[in-house]
Amino acid sequence: MPSLSIPAQPRIAVEDGIAMPQRMWAILTIALGLTLAVLGGGIANVALPAIAREVHTSPANSIWVVNAYQLAVTVSLLPLSSLGEIYGYRRIYQIGLVIFTIASLFCALSSSLPTLIVARMLQGLGAAGIMSVNSALIRFIYPRRWLGRGVGLNATVGSIASALGPSVASGILAVAPWPWLFSVNVPLGLIAAVIAMRTLPSTPMSGIKFDGISAVLQAIAIGTLLFGISQFGHGESWIHIVLEFVVAGVSGFLLVMRQLSRSSPLLPVDLLRIPLFALSVVSSVCSFIAQSIAQVSMPFLFQHRFEMDQVMTGLLMTPWPLVVAVLAPFIGRLADRYPAGLLGGGGMAVMAVGLFLMSMLPDHPATIDIVWRMTVCGIGFGFFNTPNNRAIITSAPPARTGGASGMQATARLFGQSIGAAMVALVFTAFPANGTTVALVIASIAAAVAACVSFSRLAA
């Protein structure tokens, strides 16, 4: 049996990963960090009514506790992944963990909505530091022949954290007030940070100068675009929406023009010239649009149309992420042997069928009829997610792994944001049968992802 003592000196990562037991400890801190970041995005949702009541604000304003975190994560991913290439992924991951842990303490100590929102933005910045280089570190921790397993394990951890988020929040709130939702992050973050400092491998540093102007342009472009999409979905003023889209378009155009002349651009336009990378990113966006539409609309389907309570809704939502978590290690091994286009295309085709079958449920379905359809969706998404993430990371040159990792996370969040906005728009346009229409649209988005994924076989 190898010693379980934590290695004291991390070494420079080489092409074929790092040796045991250092690899085991490195994966542990990656898993802890990812769990904290994923839980941070959704754990506060359950507590929003209590938070609104205790900080004396309206339910609508309390939603900023969630939005501030997501916005900070989304606009920070690409700049932090660029900093990872410049100064090393290990350093950015460690700083992200420290910021996340300190911000969690500030969240727990906040007594007003403005201070909580600022603390949540800081927490989102830390989470972006974790997620922006998470996949990049996997590439240097695992031997290349086992990279699919590493990506699969990452998918497992993320799926389990996503599935357990509401349950963890409910359990904490059952015995403690809402600040404890953030307090529990502090000891876990400290443990993860200590292990990260002792075991994560040092990675090559590009030494190029950070492009601050591009970072500001992408923050404006992505931030205003997401605001515009959200307001469009909620039927806000057309003047504001058009203005935000114009600002996003102009700043995005200036950003792309600036990136074209750079060897390691912050927005990875160089990687988007690689067909496999570009198609994998597009299929990722489409898949997460489909997933987001489904996961946002299904609670309304269960509670409003099927008249189920919140507990049953949570249980019926569980099979999807649970199946993804169970299948991820197995699919990771398949991803090391078979093309991502084949596995991902087949997976998205299965998910499209599952979503369409969900839209065809009768008014009073049996529980098993819902469970097996959700399981089909989970199987389909599971066969897509791990191979697609592996394709995004491995299709990029090693020196551009940070850009690929940041783009992978950005594609996921961008797709989820579009999906959530589309649900709001559909519910407004189809008040009588919005959930059914939303699931049909989700099925179409999954079918588009399948077509794009299959096209990689010819790339």
pLDDT in tens, the chain (459 residues): 344 455 554 544 445 677 788 888 988 999 899 889 888 877 776 676 678 788 887 765 776 787 788 888 888 888 898 888 888 889 999 999 999 999 999 999 988 888 999 999 999 999 999 988 887 888 888 887 777 777 777 777 876 776 677 667 777 877 888 888 899 899 999 999 999 988 888 877 777 788 888 889 988 988 888 778 777 766 677 888 889 889 999 998 998 888 887 777 888 888 888 999 999 999 999 999 998 888 878 877 887 788 887 668 777 888 888 888 788 778 888 888 889 999 999 999 999 999 999 999 988 899 999 999 999 999 999 899 888 988 888 888 877 877 887 888 888 888 887 887 788 788 878 887 888 999 999 999 999 999 999 999 986
> How many angstroms separate the CA atoms of 170 and 181, rounded?
10
Distance set, CA 263 to CA 211, 300, 313, 353 (Å): 12, 47, 49, 42
Identify the residue whose tokens are 């540093």.
205
Give this prediction's pTM: 0.78
- Residue 8, token pair as written in the block: 């004291």
Q: Do residues 333 and 385 make contact, with C-beta atoms less than 8 angstroms apart?
A: no
Helices (H), 200-274: 212-233, 238-259
- φ, ψ of residue 14 in degrees (nearest 5): -115, 180
- Residue 315, token pair as written in the block: 């249980």
CA atoms within 13 A on the CB side of 241: 11
Report which of 442, 418, 186 is spatially closest to residue 301, judged by C-alpha positions.
442
Neighbouring residues of 177: CB distance < 8 A, sequence distance ≥ 6: 50, 54
> How many angstroms separate the CA atoms of 267 and 457, rounded?
26
Q: Do residues 93 and 130 make contact, with C-beta atoms less than 8 angstroms apart?
A: yes
pLDDT value of residue 282:
95
pLDDT value of residue 336:
82
> How many angstroms separate the CA atoms of 46 and 39, rounded?
12
- Residue 352, token pair as written in the block: 């499209």
CB atoms closer than 10 angstroms to residue 48: 16
Q: Maximum CA pair distance of the chain?
A: 66
pLDDT value of residue 84:
87
Alpha-carbon torsion 382, 385, 390, 395, what sign?
positive
Distance set, CA 89 to CA 6, 149, 188, 237, 380 (Å): 20, 20, 21, 42, 32
DSSP string, 271-330: GGGSHHHHHHHHHHHHHHHHHHHHHHHHHHIIIIIS---HHHHHHHHSHHHHHHHHHHHH
Nearest-10 Cα torsion for 167, 172, 175, 177? -130
Environment class of residue 8 by beta-carbon count within 10 Å: exposed (0-12), middle (13-18) or buried (19+)? exposed
Q: Do residues 154 and 388 make contact, with C-beta atoms less than 8 angstroms apart?
A: no
Q: Do residues 202 and 10 make contact, with C-beta atoms less than 8 angstroms apart?
A: yes
